[in-house]
Amino acid sequence: MTPQRLAEAADWIAQRRLARQPIADLPAHLKPSTEYAGYAVQALVRDRLIAAGAGAAIGWKVGATTPARQRLLNVPGPCAGEMLAGGLRRGGARIAASDYTRLGIECEIAVELGAPLGGSGTVDREQAAAAVARIYPAAEVVDDRYGDFRGFGVPALIADFFFHAGLVLGEPMEAWRKLDLAKVTGTTSVDGVERLVGRGADVLGHPLDSLAWLANRLAALGRRLEPGAIVMTGSLPLPHWAAAGERVEIALSGIGKVAIEVG
């Protein structure tokens, strides 16, 4: 895509996001054809949203980190989306289903960095772990704005932050290194009934492998993770597609819980 076409695509997507509208009708000539172009459009959309008052960049989400999620989305591997402060809630949240095209809630382990990560060389799990200051039980709010998301195209999904629409963080955990994050069980319950279950090992083998993947992917884009960045490492179970009137609770064994009331 030419710089002009990248900018046109970013304008179109940003306007739709700000209006809380779906983008299933994204014109074919504005769809990025490569992942690199998808991330380039995403960065431009981010700048437009920040300028419109959506808050500063606070970190990243990593999506499609489990085999089940990759099969569901018809994607070959993980993808990333930048997160903005306007979408962050702490301790729980109440959200309106009508604000989303198709609201989903995902059960995740979030990490907050205490040191920079990536930028040069290849980051492995141990280096990723060393950069983490604390972790959180977390729910990612996602929005299926794409109609046939399996046919929408991975680069175009990336351009729109790969389903990301917000995040809710529970209480931080400082003494997390005593846990084996691969053995953590994550559950999503709706109105007190357990609906979905996953394990930390389902997330690219280990949630910190997801963090390492992100650091390496950003390095290829000429970027790195900075101290204070929050990273959603990926949903342990599949997303729960939520409806108005539900209370959705995610719980991560040994880490904590967080709940969302859907109005």
Contact predicate 139/59, CB 8 Å: no
* pTM summary value: 0.95
Enumerate residues 6+ apart whose C-beta is below 8 A from 130: 115
Distances (CA, A) of 246 to 108, 130, 169: 19, 38, 19
The Cα 85–Cα 153 span in angstroms is 27
CATH classification at residue 98: 3.90.850.10
| CA–CA–CA angle 176, 181, 187 (5° rounding) | 105
pLDDT at 68: 83
pLDDT at 72: 81
pLDDT at 121: 87
pLDDT at 66: 85
Per-position pLDDT tens, the chain of length 263 = 899 999 999 999 999 999 999 999 999 999 999 999 999 999 999 999 999 999 999 999 999 998 888 888 888 889 999 999 999 999 999 999 999 999 999 999 999 999 999 988 899 999 999 999 999 999 999 999 999 888 899 999 999 999 999 999 999 999 999 999 999 999 999 999 999 999 999 999 999 999 999 999 999 999 999 999 999 999 999 999 999 999 999 999 999 999 999 99
Tokens of 76: 């070959």
Distances (CA, A) of 22 to 34, 48, 147, 149, 222: 22, 17, 8, 12, 30
DSSP-assigned beta bridge partners for residue 199: 185
pLDDT at 120: 84
| Residue 237 one-letter amino acid | P
DSSP-assigned beta bridge partners for residue 138: 108, 169
Tokens of 109: 């382990």
Query: What is the 8-class DSSP label of residue 130?
Result: H
Number of domain units in the chain:
1
Indicate whether 4 belongs to any domain: no
For residue 251, give its domain range.
Answer: 57-262
Indicate whether 102 belongs to any domain: yes
The Cα 52–Cα 54 span in angstroms is 6
Radius of gyration of the chain (CA): 17
Indicate whether 9 belongs to any domain: no
Indicate whether 198 belongs to any domain: yes
